Structure formats: C-alpha cells, structure tokens
Amino acid sequence: MPATDRIAINLQHVRKNFKTLTAVDDLSLQVEKGSVFGFLGPNGAGKSTTIRMILDLVRPAGGSIELFGLPLKSNRESILRRIGALVEKPDFYEYLSARRNLQILAKMIGGVGNNQVDEVLEIVDLRERADDKVKSYSHGMKQRLGIAQSLLGRPELIILDEPTTGLDPVGMKEVRELIRELARQNFTIFLSSHLLHEVEQVCTHTAIINKGKLIVQGQVKELLDAGSQKVTLEVDRIEEAAAKLSGLSFVKRVEIDGNRIKAEVACKDIPELNEFLVAQRIRVFRLQPHTSLEDFYLSLLEEQSV
C-alpha cells in the first residue's frame, strides 16, 4: 500500500444499506495523489453510492472514509473545499452566460476571483463562447462547463461521475482530451464510468466493483499484463493446430474463425504457446496478442457469476 501522505482517498470496510438492499459491502480502496483513477462496475454495482459517501452526501452504515489523510466525518468542511465534483448532469441557469453562471458559483464558494473564472473557461476550451447563453450550448459543451465548475477554487481532487454520458463521439473525445489535460496539470481525478475503452485510454489506475464488493484494484497496465489475453493465430494445418492447442492446460477458449485461430492465454504463456506450435512442426505465420480493459472486466465478472 502507498504511504499515507500519498493517498487522496482511503476507504476502509465501508458499507451502505438501503433497507434490504446492500449497495456497498465492505469496500476498501485507495486512490493515490496525482493518479487518474477509473472506478468501474455494472449498473447497480454501488459506484454512485460510493461517490456520494466520499462527498458526504450519503452517510455510510459502517467503515471509515479518509481524504488527504483526514477523517471525513470530523473534517467535512475543510476536506470538501479541496474537492471539485461533477455528479450526474450539471445544472445551470440556461438564460445566463457560461461566464455569469461560473461567477455566481464563485461567489458562493468565496475567495474565487473573475481571473479564475477565465482560467477554468480556458482549461475546458470555452473561453470564446463564455458570454453565450448556456441554452445555446451543445450537450458536450455543457459537460465541459460542468467540469469547469468543478475546477473553481483550485481543488486538489476532482470527482467525475459518468462525465461522457449521452455524448456523441466528438463530445466524448473532447471530454477525454480534457481529462488528459487535467492529469498533466497534476490534478487527482476519480472517474466513474461504464465506458471501458474510455477508462483504458485515460486512467492510470482502476478499481472494479460488483454488487458493492471490490473485485480488483491496481494499475491499469499491470492488471492487463497479469490477466488473460486474446491471441489471434494464422498457421498452416489450422484444424490440427486448434485441436492441439485445446489440449493445453494454459490455453482456453480455442476456436476457429475463418482462416484464423482465436485463443485465450495468460500473457506470460504466449512464448510457450508459440514454442509448442513450432515443436509440433506447425508453421506460425502470425501471432497477435491483444487485450483490453473490457476483456479483463468481462472475464472478472464472469468469474464472479460462477
């Protein structure tokens, strides 16, 4: 576990029940400062409830929540001043400009000048449209304005709950690039999402939960390297090769797809797979491993359902 002074979010054995429903069940996870942390899980997994507990919008039934090394329960006001959040759909005064909306919020926060309003508008690439009424904005622009809103007060931690929901591909790309830019500016970002390829492209770390329980947590690259990979093979004597691969204990889900074989194998066993085929005098024309966070995620959920 990283040193305490490097942890932005620390949940230990957190629980939350809603009558007979257990939304979060003995959840422990740590988010390092400076990381882009992807929080993944199917609908109903407990992601939004967890975020609401971190923001003290919902009180946990048990366990502890610390942010920046301080207990949330006894340091609520000082901690929340260090956090910016976009939870669900951002709301604005549609008949006012983006700049005016942010100025109103800045006064509510206190200690935020107009220069910082301009600064966050620049970060989210809305400076040129800052004086247009929000009702003229596209959905993607409103999402970026919501992120700008979360940046007021120069928070250390930014929490984004499904920031690309409902966006078209262009809007998703804009938000993804914005998250990358925030990461370059050393913000700690906690990103809840169900779009696995988006998380894979922008996140350094991830945690996957299901039915309120933590399934796995770690660096995205390390988790992918440790998990199974799908391998596409082009060989001669394709049926014979598929039959032989099916008999290997470390290879699973072997299938013939046209003139190719598709198999699933651990990353560390790929060299052995190739050596085995060569030893069987089967010529390998192409061996292409490919994995994704989506493959890893689905394989974990499948194991959970067994």
Residue type, 255: E
The residues facing 32 across adjacent strands are 7
The CATH 3.30.70.980 portion of the chain extends over 228-290
Please tell me the predicted confidence (pLDDT) of residue 290. Answer: 66
CATH class of 4-218: alpha beta
Question: What's residue 228's pLDDT?
Answer: 65
pLDDT at 295: 65
| Neighbour count for residue 247 (Cβ, 10 Å) | 8
Q: Are strands 188-193 and 157-161 parallel, antiparallel or unpaired?
A: parallel
| Residues 88, 162 contacting (CB under 8 angstroms) | yes
One digit per residue, pLDDT tens: the chain, 306 residues?
Answer: 455 678 999 999 999 999 888 999 999 999 999 999 999 888 888 999 999 999 999 999 999 999 999 999 999 999 999 999 988 778 899 999 999 999 998 988 887 878 889 999 998 999 999 999 999 998 889 989 999 999 998 899 999 988 887 788 888 888 888 888 888 888 999 999 877 777 778 889 989 888 899 988 888 777 766 666 778 889 999 999 999 999 888 887 888 888 898 888 877 788 889 999 999 999 999 988 766 666 666 666 666 554
Q: Which residues contact 176 (CB under 8 A, 6 or more apart)?
A: 164, 198, 201, 202
Quick one: which of 304, 214, 303, 216 has its CA closest to 25?
A: 214
All CATH 3.40.50.300 domain ranges of the chain, comma separated, are 4-218
Domain 228-290: top CATH class: alpha beta
> Using CA atoms, how far apart are residues 232 and 223, in angstroms rounded to an integer?
21
